[in-house]
């Protein structure tokens, strides 16, 4: 289907308002009023068979009566009229329609049918649909606002929202702020036709949008969403708020990984992986967007703090640390230069406290800022305290000095390319009370916050976007090779109507996928074979585990014997295991007993798993094993396929990651081996979408190499397996 670029919907040369009205309370009136007020330059065609004119514009009985062509239709009529209206739009050659009405998919089966019908017609006529059930769209750069939001300032932040009220919140916050402007808004609505991904692609290209804000409740197709997010975040920051964090985990999941895959934990991992700057609180969304629209990303996490009081210096240091930023160590030279211009009581280590050194001459702020930004260890600067309010606090004669200082500091943005953020306690004062130097420095491109923590959060956002931009590109999506051996396993699973891949089969599959399998595992079908396996393994102590499609919890079934060290012992263990299995389940299908050398002592217990998330598709979980981690849910997620960078970040992102570096004198674990293991699992699961869940639990990670102590693979229900 050759569809219209959705750009034409945001830059329409003509708009028809279907369901135009003379009632000032109705959208069919208010949007026309707003277009006229804002001076929209294109043609506006009200459609209403009962009115001759609305707001001075000639009214048409139907779309077909319009003399010219139309780019966009705003449809204000009820749900049931839609298929017909869209057909008329199509016949008229409209490129898109914004459908406000509710009563579609969100309202149950009948609504879903109506929506499907509308979309069918739209596709037939190549009309792109925004919504239905949307608050509308605006583009301040085209003076095209059919939402009706007032007091919009033109700017460079694009807004995508699944909640009309959240959009209104953000617009109102921008209005209160006075400095923040918006470029474009889309109420996502039901995503019946155009979905998040197309809007992301549009924003990536839109020359008037520098930063995108997305309020996301759910998504129709998580993989497609992530792909588009990955594309746009290479070029522009996306501040994303994902709501619905506290819903219960997937209690139906069968695997350990599934049970730990809380919705938000998965979203958090995969959205950050795709490059989003995730807002954790709704009240930081717009400030993050503002900082990202004004400033370069941070090149590292090293920040200098310039304070004019000990209290703010201390709070800033605390907040930086809590946000994962570090106080840049200052060079000897930097400290000497600061000492030369500050009083003896000043602190010239980071955080820098001028200790009254600016009271009579706030220009010293710019001198200090310049010195700090010249230090190659410093990648960003946070100014905190009274800056901008010296005229208010001390003497009005200082205000002109502060104005010049503001211009000097703002000029450093350009010169050094390092972000500068100001926290000022006078930032909380509005309108006529707000000191002019703060307005001046903000207009020159340095954001000003009245909350010190918010200023630090925004600095963190700049670091996050910097890291997202520097992340290595995923290798071109390769076509993973399906190993014939695992194809055979799948065939037998299908023919045997089982979804449980037996452990020896799983181990083979992993080995085939290039997962380094440190220890051989031999399936023994008789006591005799078990002894032979034992001897083949060098007669070292072995672990023996039952292999049966009917027994999932092997230990509970008495199906595991550890540290078996003699031929006699192995024979006896085989018989015990099989006998226990028979006692445990009625007439079980016992394939045999797996014999493996005991894993070396020590090592850090790890769990690695894959589940198919209903939204995002296959995602990998990484965490430390053991009961504590389960309780503390200290696990991280990424969508597959994984890059090596993703895998390394997963190791670093668990809260207990310090353990992997070696604590209490332990040697560091072999992170490269873990990464290789994770990459292999990623390949296997990419090659075989039939794999529903995979658990390696536990894996022991040593200072050199890893050992997989248990491997479980569950397949999609046979009926769901790709039909051949």
What is the contact surface with its own copies in residues (CB under 8 A)? 25, 107, 161-166, 168-169, 172-173, 175-177, 215, 217, 243-246, 281-283, 308-312, 314-315, 317-319, 321-322, 345, 385-386, 389, 393-395, 425-426, 428-431, 433, 450-454, 624, 626-632, 634, 655-656, 658-659, 663-664
How many CB atoms are located within 10 Å of the residue 244 CB?
11
Residues 6+ apart with CB under 8 A from 448: 388, 422, 423, 424, 427, 438, 441, 442
Eight-state DSSP code of residue 347: B
Least Å distance, CB 82 to its own copies, is 19
Question: With contact defined as beta carbons under 8 Å apart, do 690 and 716 qualify?
Answer: yes
Least Å distance, CB 329 to its own copies, is 15
**Dist CA 562 CA 597 (whole Å):** 9
- Report H helices in 100-153: 109-125
Q: Which is nearer to its own copies, 205 or 283 (CB)?
A: 283
Q: Which is nearer to its own copies, 69 or 345 (CB)?
A: 345
Q: Which is nearer to its own copies, 65 or 283 (CB)?
A: 283
Q: Which is nearer to its own copies, 1 or 631 (CB)?
A: 631
Least Å distance, CB 558 to its own copies, is 17
Q: Which is nearer to its own copies, 484 or 665 (CB)?
A: 665
Least Å distance, CB 424 to its own copies, is 9
For 5, 38, 496, 500, 715, the CA distances from 718, given in Å and listed in that order, are 41, 59, 10, 11, 8
- Report H helices in 417-517: 436-443, 452-470, 484-495, 503-512
Question: With contact defined as beta carbons under 8 Å apart, do 570 and 530 qualify?
Answer: yes
Least Å distance, CB 656 to its own copies, is 5
Taking alpha carbons only, the member of 625, 600, 562, 596 closest to residue 703 is 600
Which structure tokens are listed for 403? 């104005």
Question: With contact defined as beta carbons under 8 Å apart, do 170 and 135 qualify?
Answer: no
Least Å distance, CB 595 to its own copies, is 27
Q: Is 524 helix (H, G, I), strand (E, B) or coil?
A: strand
Least Å distance, CB 351 to its own copies, is 11
Q: Which is nearer to its own copies, 195 or 326 (CB)?
A: 326
Which structure tokens are listed for 150? 């007032």
Question: With contact defined as beta carbons under 8 Å apart, do 82 and 75 qualify?
Answer: yes
Least Å distance, CB 32 to its own copies, is 18
**394: burial class by Cβ within 10 Å (0-12, 13-18, 19+)?**
middle
Dihedral of the CA atoms 297, 301, 302, 306 (nearest 10)? Answer: 70
Q: Which is nearer to its own copies, 450 or 487 (CB)?
A: 450
Least Å distance, CB 343 to its own copies, is 12
Taking alpha carbons only, the member of 411, 412, 389 closest to residue 401 is 389
Least Å distance, CB 529 to its own copies, is 34
Q: Which is nearer to its own copies, 29 or 60 (CB)?
A: 29
* 610 φ, ψ (degrees, to nearest 5): -130, 135
Question: With contact defined as beta carbons under 8 Å apart, do 311 and 320 qualify?
Answer: no
Q: Which is nearer to its own copies, 279 or 551 (CB)?
A: 279
* 66 φ, ψ (degrees, to nearest 5): -65, 135
Taking alpha carbons only, the member of 358, 349, 422 closest to residue 384 is 422
Q: Which is nearer to its own copies, 163 or 643 (CB)?
A: 163
């Amino acid at each position: 289907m050759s569809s219209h670029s959705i750009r034409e919907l945001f830059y329409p040369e003509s708009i028809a308002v279907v369901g135009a009205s003379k009632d000032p309370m109705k959208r069919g009136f208010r949007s026309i009023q707003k277009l006229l007020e804002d001076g929209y330059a294109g043609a506006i065609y009200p459609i209403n068979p009962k009115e001759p004119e609305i707001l001075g514009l000639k009214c048409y009985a139907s779309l077909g009566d319009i003399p010219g062509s139309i780019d966009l239709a705003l449809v204000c009529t009820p749900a049931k009229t839609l298929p017909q209206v869209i057909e008329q739009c199509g016949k008229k050659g409209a490129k898109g329609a914004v459908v406000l009405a509710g009563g579609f998919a969100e309202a149950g089966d009948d609504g879903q049918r109506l929506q499907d019908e509308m979309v069918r017609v739209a596709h037939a006529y190549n009309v792109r649909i925004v919504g239905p059930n949307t608050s509308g769209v605006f583009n301040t750069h085209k003076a095209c606002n059919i939402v009706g939001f007032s007091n919009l300032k033109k700017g460079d932040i694009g807004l995508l929202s699944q909640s009309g009220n959240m959009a209104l919140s953000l617009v109102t916050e921008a209005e209160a702020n006075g400095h923040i402007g918006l470029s474009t808004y889309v109420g996502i609505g039901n995503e019946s036709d155009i979905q998040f991904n197309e809007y992301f692609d549009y924003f990536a290209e839109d020359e008037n949008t520098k930063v995108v804000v997305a309020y996301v409740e759910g998504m129709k197709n998580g993989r497609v969403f992530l792909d588009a997010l990955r594309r746009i975040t290479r070029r522009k920051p996306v501040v994303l708020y994902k709501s619905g964090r506290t819903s219960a985990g997937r209690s139906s999941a069968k695997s350990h990984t599934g049970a730990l895959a809380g919705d938000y934990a998965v979203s958090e991992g995969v959205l950050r992986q795709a490059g989003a700057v995730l807002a954790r609180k709704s009240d930081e969304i717009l400030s993050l967007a503002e900082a990202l629209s004004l400033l370069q990303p941070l090149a590292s996490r090293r920040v200098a703090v310039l304070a004019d009081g000990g209290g703010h210096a201390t709070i800033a240091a605390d907040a930086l640390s809590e946000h994962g930023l570090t106080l840049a160590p200052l060079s000897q030279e930097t400290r000497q230069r600061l000492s030369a211009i500050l009083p003896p009581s000043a602190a010239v280590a980071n955080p820098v406290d001028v200790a009254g050194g600016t009271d009579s001459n706030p220009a010293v702020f710019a001198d200090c800022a310049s010195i700090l930004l010249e230090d190659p260890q410093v990648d960003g600067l946070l100014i905190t305290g009274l800056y901008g309010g010296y005229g208010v606090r001390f003497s009005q004669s200082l205000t002109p000095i502060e104005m010049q200082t503001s211009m000097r500091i703002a000029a450093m943005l350009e010169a050094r390319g390092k972000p500068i953020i100001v926290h000022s306690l006078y930032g909380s004062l509005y309108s006529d009370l707000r000191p002019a130097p703060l307005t001046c420095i903000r207009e020159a491109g340095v954001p000003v916050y009245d909350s010190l923590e918010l200023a630090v959060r925004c600095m963190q956002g700049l670091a996050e976007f910097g890291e997202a931009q520097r992340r290595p590109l995923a290798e071109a999506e390769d076509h993973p090779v399906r190993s014939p051996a695992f194809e055979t396993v799948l065939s037998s699973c299908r023919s045997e109507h089982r979804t449980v891949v037996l452990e020896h089969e799983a181990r083979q599959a992993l080995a085939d996928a290039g997962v380094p399998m440190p220890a051989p595992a031999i399936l023994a079908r008789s006591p005799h074979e078990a002894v032979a396996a034992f001897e083949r393994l060098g007669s070292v102590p072995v672990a023996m585990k039952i292999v049966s499609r009917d027994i999932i919890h092997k230990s509970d079934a008495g199906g595991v014997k550890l540290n078996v060290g003699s031929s006699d012992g192995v024979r006896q263990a085989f018989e015990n295991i099989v006998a226990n299995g028979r006692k445990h389940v009625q007439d079980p299908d016992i394939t045999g007993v797996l014999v493996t050398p005991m894993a070396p002592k020590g090592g850090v217990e790890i769990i690695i798993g894959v589940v198919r998330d209903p939204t995002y598709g296959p995602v990998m979980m990484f965490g430390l094993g053991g009961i504590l981690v389960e309780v503390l849910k200290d696990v991280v997620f990424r969508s597959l396929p994984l890059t090596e960078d993703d895998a390394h970040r997963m190791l670093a992102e668990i809260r207990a990651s310090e353990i992997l570096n070696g604590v209490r004198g332990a040697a560091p674990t072999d992170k490269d081996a873990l990464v290789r293991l994770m990459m292999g699992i990623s390949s296997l699961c990419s090659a075989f979408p039939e794999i529903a869940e995979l658990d390696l639990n536990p894996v022991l990670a040593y200072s050199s190499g890893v050992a997989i102590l248990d491997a479980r693979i569950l397949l999609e229900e046979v009926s769901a397996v790709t039909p051949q």
